[in-house]
Amino acid sequence: MAAPGKPTDDAASRGIETVPQQVIRQLVGDAKRVVIKVGSQVLCQADGQVDEQVLARLCTEICGLMAAGRQVVLVSSGAVAMGRGEVGQAVGAADKGIGLLGKQSLAAIGQALLMSRYRQYLGAHGVHTAQLLLTHDDLGERSRFLHARRVTLELLDAGILPVVNENDTVSVKELRFGDNDALAAQMAQTIAADVLILLTEVDGLFTADPHIHPDAVKLDAVRSRDDSVLAIAGEGTSAFGTGGMRSKVMAARNAGEVGVPTVVAHGRRPGVLARVLAGELEGTVFVPTTRKLSARRKWLAANPRTRGQVDVDAGAAHALRVGGRSLLPVGVTGVSGRFGVGDAIRIVGPDGAVLGRGLARYTSEDAKMAAGLRTAQVAEKLGWLPAKELVHRDDFVS
Measured CA to CA, the distance from residue 358 to residue 332 in angstroms comes to: 14
Superfamily for the 306-397 domain: PUA domain (2.30.130.10)
* φ, ψ at 166 (rounded to 5°): -70, 140
> 10 Å Cβ neighbour count for 191?
20
Asked whether this chain's domains 21-297 and 306-397 adopt the same fold, the reply is: no
Q: What is the DSSP letter of 327?
A: B
State residue 12's pLDDT score: 53
Query: What separation in angstroms does the CA of 366 have from each of 194, 335, 387?
Result: 41, 10, 11
State residue 305's pLDDT score: 75
- Number of helices (H), then strands (E), belonging to the chain: the values are 15, 13
Measured CA to CA, the distance from residue 18 to residue 379 in angstroms comes to: 53
Residue ranges of the chain with pLDDT lower than 70? 1-23, 46-48, 88-101, 168-178, 234-243, 290-295, 302-304
Domain boundaries, the chain: 21-297, 306-397
State residue 343's pLDDT score: 85
State residue 365's pLDDT score: 94
Contact 265/203 with Cβ under 8 angstroms? yes
Q: How much is the pTM?
A: 0.74
Separation of CA 178 from chain center: 9
State residue 2's pLDDT score: 37
Query: What separation in angstroms does the CA of 286 have from each of 209, 245, 249?
Result: 18, 13, 8
CATH 3.40.1160.10 is the classification of domain 21-297: yes
pLDDT in tens, 156-214: 999 999 999 988 666 655 444 567 898 999 899 889 899 999 999 889 988 877 778 88
